[in-house]
Structure 1
Amino acid sequence: MKILCFSVLLAFASLAWAAPQIQVVGLFPGAAVLNVDGQRKLVKVGQTGPGGVQVVSANARGAVLRVDGVERNYSLSRDYSQGMAAPQKRSLSIAKGESGHYWVAGSVNGHPIQFLVDTGATSVALTGAQADRLGIDYRATGREIRVSTANGVARGWRINLDSVKVGTIEVRGVEGTVMDVGTGGEALLGMSFLGRVGWKVDQDVLVLESKH
């Protein structure tokens, strides 16, 4: 009898151990980025991803996944791995826009701003109008420099930003540049931020990951 009970316990332990570790690390209308046992993939509604996990529905608030015939609601960046602890590193998945660029909502010094991700920019770059709106007195605190742009050499100011944040990923003490280009131009999320986080492009999805 004891041997039989022990065998049953072992069987249950084996089933629990075999349960897939599933995370939803990105949410978009009609698609979700799944991380199943460490394998990450963008899966559209109706399609099947790693481990046979099917996306039933998805929007910005959450996704419904079918796992082994059972449908469950999943929210962003939650770990449903049967008691396994969620990773300490924070990640953010950004889908490519229709223009072929990656746009992401973020903040500078706690103030919201929309970024264009630009790996060719050496620093986080703002226009003078954007810096004024964020309350950055760049003329008083910054160092005037000359910056080469597509339209020639422009005046700029090298500054230090207390905080730059996108999603849950925050980097403090980030080098920034304010460009004297009037009211036009985008805020660029450049390498002074990207160089301090992990990033990669996977199936037209840009994945950012904190290093701590």
Structure 2
Amino acid sequence: MRPSERFLACLCLLLGLAGTAQAQPTSVQVVGLFPNAAVVLVDGQRKLVKVGQTGPGGVQVVSADNHGAVLRVDGSERRYELTREYNAVTSGLGGSSSRAQASIAKGAGGHFWVAGSIQGQGVQFLVDTGASAVAMNEGQARRLGIDYRVSGQPMRVSTASGTAGAWRITLNSVKVGAIEVLGVEAVVIQGDAPTEVLLGMSFLNRVRWREDQGVLLLESKT
């Protein structure tokens, strides 16, 4: 083979290798966890990826549980723990601060369910933009140690079953992921409804939120 032919052959081989090479992700995080799915953040691109599916940067979710997920990145499997996600923003004074974020995947029935806490006690929330306030039934309030009959203001509320007695209260703290809101208005409803604690607008109005591809994104305002 002449030198010129050998040069062209090497050049073609190098171009072929360059064409098949894929850019490897430089930053991979797990920022949300759900049954058999995880919200992955790859080089700034966020997506809900189910087990067995492939997300941004070719990252594949192998398994997921309450604490982390096993991801296959560039052919290698590694466990990633849940990361609290923060987004750097520029303040009006030219400095910088960070805003806590939380990602909630759409679950059964097309609803958004998320684990959180009320005054330090663990709670499973159902996000309800139709509820004017955080709402719970009497049993849930007692489990959380809320003395609603003493501290609450009696009122009447409209429910799917009609009107019911209730008490308006103020919760010291409501937290979802890394986002904590203090002094949140809530309602304790007489009886067994609602069956889930509703994360209503008295919390959602205090944060920024939007839905993107089946994921509800929450961000603190400060």
Q: Distance in 2 between matches of 1:77 and 1:91?
A: 11
Closer, same or farther in 2 for the Cα pair 1:88/1:64, shift >3 Å? farther
CA distance in 2, matches of 1:127, 1:183: 6
TM-score when scaled to structure 1? 0.75
Contact 1:25 1:91 in 2 (8 A): no
Selected match of 1:135 from 135, 145, 150: 145
SS at match of 1:185: coil
Q: Deviations over 1:29-72 (max 9, x none)?
A: 43221112222111223332222323333333322333344443
8 Å contact from structure 2 (residues 115, 176) kept in 1: yes
1:158, distance to aligned residue in structure 2 (A): 1.5
Relative distance call for 1:61 and 1:105 in structure 2 (3 A) is closer
Alpha-carbon distance in 2 for matches of 1:179, 1:28: 29
Q: Match for residue 15 of structure 1?
A: none
Q: Which residue of 2 aligns with 1:3?
A: none
In structure 2, what residue type is equivalent to 1:42? L
| 8 Å CA contact retained: 1:23, 1:78 | no
Q: Measure the CA separation in 2 of the matches of 1:99 and 1:35.
A: 25
Identity %: 65
Which one has a larger percent strand, Structure 1 or Structure 2? 2
Please name the residue that 1:156 is paired with. 166
Change (3 A) 1:56 1:112: closer
Looking at CA atoms only, which structure, 1 or 2, has the larger radius of gyration?
2
Secondary structure at 1:89 match in 2: strand
Q: Which amino acid aligns with 2:27?
A: Q
In the alignment, is residue 197 of structure 1 matched against residue 207 of structure 2?
A: yes
After superposition, the CA RMSD in angstroms is 2.5
Alpha-carbon distance change, 44 to 104 in structure 1, aligned in 2, over 3 angstroms: closer
**Structure 2 residue 61 is the aligned partner of structure 1 residue 55:** yes
Tell whether the 8 Å contact from 2:179 to 2:220 is kept in structure 1 after alignment.
yes
Distance, in Å, in 1 between the alignment partners of 2:35 and 2:159 is 36
Listed as ranges, the gaps of 5+ residues in structure 2 are 1-23, 86-96
| Match among 187, 192, 195 for residue 183 of structure 1 | 192
Mapped partners of 2:186, 2:66: distance in 1: 30
Q: CA-to-partner distance for each residue in 1:77-107, whole Å, 9 max, x for gaps?
A: 168xxxxxxx943333333332332222222
| Structure 1 residue aligned with 2:111 | 101
1:24 is matched with 30
Q: TM-score, normalised by structure 2?
A: 0.72
